[in-house]
């Protein structure tokens, strides 16, 4: 019992440390943005290095096209730079950042709804084989199976309604809180939970045969 | 409630855990839940096949999503971004002022227009009429020439008078 209590308290301590670190990170982002507002352009470079990959990866999973994702990410950071003079830390920086990114992604998806935005399964298979050569996978068959599974996951997410897709990606990959996702999508927390529940239920149903 | 239908164990029947503690169930599936709450859900899952199915299938979905690795970012991403920023900074002051947009809000355009009108009126009132100035200058010049002629005539007359006086003394 004492051992369980000790483990519980140590785990709680670790969680508290992680929460403190997360809070410090959030404050540092706001501090960098305020420095940029004051004219310190180097702060923008730091912000870019911290958030470039998460933004691009989020956009890539939203639009499923790397080139488009990078173009949209360019626009995201341009808008951050343009807004430097009027920036106020009224919300978490990542909330604001992903609000811009989501807005741009949703607009792009709606504008290109009838176009094919993702690579074909055949192309992915070819890439998988190339990866196999470079990664020295044991068999071609395993690579093909893996690539087929990836294609199914990508398709399952791509076919989600846009807001459900955005909510799932922010919740799963960016680990945003419900309140943050609500501010990004301009809806209530209960609406976010509903979006996530519906999205995950759909994904469970579509990927059940892979289990 | 629509959310309840997502977790029906059989038509019209929803497990109370799924209905009332869906958040906790998802957090447990993500292994983010600890302590008494986690123990409670674990005990419930041992006896509820539906909740167990939801937990297992949700964990599979997340593991599958974990395997989806994104592409590498282009090596020139930063360079392209900074070039775009430089181009933006080099734009004309007017475009920066309007941020590429024509004034579309009356509450912005009206004060600006009014300010321009005031400035224009100020300059119109303050600036002297160049034509009138020229006329005045010409007039002054004309007056001065006439005076000069008269003065010269007077001088000639005086000279003649002096000569006459000088001759008469001799």
Instruction: List, for residues B93-108, the tens digit of each pLDDT value.
Output: 666 666 655 555 666 7
pLDDT > 90? residue B163: no
How distant is the Cα of A209 from the closest Cα of chain B, in angstroms? 10
Determine the pLDDT at residue B96.
60
Dihedral angle computed from the Cα positions of residues A51, A57, A60 and A65, in that order, rounded to the nearest 10 degrees: 100
- Considering CB atoms only, which of A53, A78, A201 is closest to B6? A201
Please judge whether A78 and B84 are an interchain contact, meaning their C-beta atoms are less than 8 angstroms apart: yes
Determine the pLDDT at residue B158.
80
A30 lies in the same domain as A110: yes
The series of mean pLDDT values per 10 residues for chain A, 211 residues long, is 57 68 75 93 95 96 95 97 92 94 96 66 42 57 85 92 96 93 95 93 90 72
- Report chain A residues whose CB lies below 8 A from the CB of B68: 61, 150, 153-154
Determine the pLDDT at residue A125.
41
A166 lies in the same domain as A145: no
Comparing B96 with B74, the larger pLDDT belongs to B74
Is A70 within a domain? yes
Nearest to A80 by CA among B79, B85, B97: B85
Q: Who's near A108: CB < 8 A, 6+ residues apart? A: A63, A68, A72
A56 lies in the same domain as A96: yes
A2 lies in the same domain as A103: yes
Please judge whether A207 and B3 are an interchain contact, meaning their C-beta atoms are less than 8 angstroms apart: no
- Report chain A residues whose CB lies below 8 A from the CB of B61: 200, 203-204, 207
- What is the token pair recorded at A131? 């990866």
Q: Which helix (H) or strand (E) segment is B10 a member of?
A: strand B8-10
SS3 B34: coil
> Domain holding A172: CATH number?
1.10.10.10
- What is the token pair recorded at B5? 């239908």
Candidates A42, A64, A70, partner chain B, best to mutate (most B CBs within 10 A): A70
A33 lies in the same domain as A94: yes
Confidence of residue B127 (pLDDT cuts 50, 70, 90): low
- Contact criterion met (CB below 8 Å) for A108 and A68: yes
Determine the pLDDT at residue A122.
37
pLDDT > 90? residue B135: no
Please judge whether A172 and B70 are an interchain contact, meaning their C-beta atoms are less than 8 angstroms apart: no
Give me the phi and psi of B14, to 5 degrees please: -125, 130
Determine the pLDDT at residue A145.
83
Determine the pLDDT at residue B153.
82
A77 lies in the same domain as A15: yes
How distant is the Cα of B89 from the closest Cα of chain A, in angstroms? 10
Dihedral angle computed from the Cα positions of residues A186, A191, A197 and A201, in that order, rounded to the nearest 10 degrees: -80
How distant is the Cα of B124 from the closest Cα of chain A, in angstroms? 37
Determine the pLDDT at residue B4.
43
Q: How many domains does chain A have?
A: 3
Is A155 within a domain? no
Interface TM-score (ipTM) > 0.90? no
A64 lies in the same domain as A92: yes
> Domain holding A2: CATH number?
1.10.1740.10
Q: Please state, rounded to an integer, the average pLDDT across all residues of chain B.
A: 77
A88 lies in the same domain as A13: yes
- Report chain B residues whose CB lies below 8 A from the CB of A154: 68
Q: What is the rounded average pLDDT of the residues B118-139?
A: 68
A21 lies in the same domain as A106: yes
Comparing A132 with B55, the larger pLDDT belongs to B55
A27 lies in the same domain as A62: yes
- The residue of chain B nearest to residue A63, with distances taken between CA atoms, is B70
Kindly list the residues of chain A whose beta carbon comes within 8 Å of any beta carbon in chain B.
Answer: 8, 11, 15, 48, 52-53, 56-57, 60-61, 66, 70, 73-74, 77-78, 81-82, 146, 149-150, 153-154, 157, 172-173, 193-194, 196-198, 200-201, 203-204, 207-208, 210-211
Alpha helices by DSSP H, listed for B21-129, are 22-29, 35-47, 49-66, 77-89, 93-98, 106-126
Determine the pLDDT at residue A146.
83
Counting Cβ atoms within 10 Å, is residue A69 exposed (0-12), middle (13-18) or buried (19+)?
buried
Angle between helices A93-111 and A41-63 (to 10 degrees): 40
Determine the pLDDT at residue B32.
85
Q: Integer distance in angstroms from the first to the last C-alpha of chain A?
A: 37
Determine the pLDDT at residue B7.
45
This model's pTM is above 0.80: no
- Report chain B residues whose CB lies below 8 A from the CB of A22: none
SS3 A173: coil
A108 lies in the same domain as A127: no
A35 lies in the same domain as A82: yes
- Please give the residue range of the domain that contains residue A142: 118-150
Nearest to A202 by CA among B71, B61, B76: B61
Is A3 within a domain? yes
Nearest to B55 by CA among B41, B76, B34, B73: B41
- Contact criterion met (CB below 8 Å) for A92 and A184: no
Q: How many CB atoms lie within 10 A of CB A36?
A: 22
């Amino acid at each position: 019992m004492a051992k369980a209590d000790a483990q519980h308290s140590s785990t709680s301590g670790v969680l508290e440390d992680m929460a403190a670190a997360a809070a410090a990170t959030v404050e540092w982002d706001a501090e960098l943005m305020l420095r940029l507002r004051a004219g310190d352009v180097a702060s923008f470079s730091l912000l870019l290095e911290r958030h470039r990959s998460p933004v691009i990866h989020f956009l890539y999973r939203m639009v499923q096209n790397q080139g488009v994702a990078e173009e949209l990410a360019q626009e995201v950071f341009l808008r951050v730079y343009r807004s430097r003079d009027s920036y106020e830390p009224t919300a978490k920086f990542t909330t604001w950042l992903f609000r811009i990114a989501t807005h741009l992604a949703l607009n792009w998806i709606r504008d290109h709804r009838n176009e094919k935005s993702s690579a074909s399964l055949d192309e992915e298979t070819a890439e998988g084989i190339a990866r196999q050569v470079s990664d020295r996978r044991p068999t071609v068959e395993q690579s093909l199976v893996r690539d087929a599974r990836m294609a199914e996951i990508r398709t399952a997410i791509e076919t989600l309604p846009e807001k459900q897709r955005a909510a799932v990606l922010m919740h799963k990959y960016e680990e945003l809180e419900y309140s943050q996702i609500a501010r990004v999508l301009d809806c209530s927390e209960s609406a976010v939970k509903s979006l996530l529940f519906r999205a995950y239920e759909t994904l469970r149903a579509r990927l059940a045969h892979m289990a | 409630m629509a959310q309840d239908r997502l977790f029906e164990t059989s038509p019209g029947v929803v497990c109370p855990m799924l209905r009332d503690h869906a958040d906790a169930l998802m957090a447990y599936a993500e292994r983010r839940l600890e302590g008494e709450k986690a123990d409670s859900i674990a005990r419930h899952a041992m006896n509820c096949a539906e909740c167990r199915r939801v937990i297992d299938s949700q964990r599979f979905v997340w593991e599958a999503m974990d395997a989806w690795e994104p592409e590498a970012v282009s090596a020139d991403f930063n360079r392209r971004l900074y070039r775009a920023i430089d181009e933006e900074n080099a734009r004309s002051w007017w475009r920066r002022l309007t941020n590429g947009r024509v004034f579309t809000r009356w509450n912005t355009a009206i004060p600006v227009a009014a300010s321009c009108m005031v400035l224009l009126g100020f300059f119109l009132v303050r600036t002297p009429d160049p034509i009138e100035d020229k006329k005045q200058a010409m007039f002054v010049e004309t007056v001065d020439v006439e005076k000069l002629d008269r003065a010269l005539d007077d001088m000639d007359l005086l000279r003649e008078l002096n000569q006459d006086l000088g001759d008469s003394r001799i």
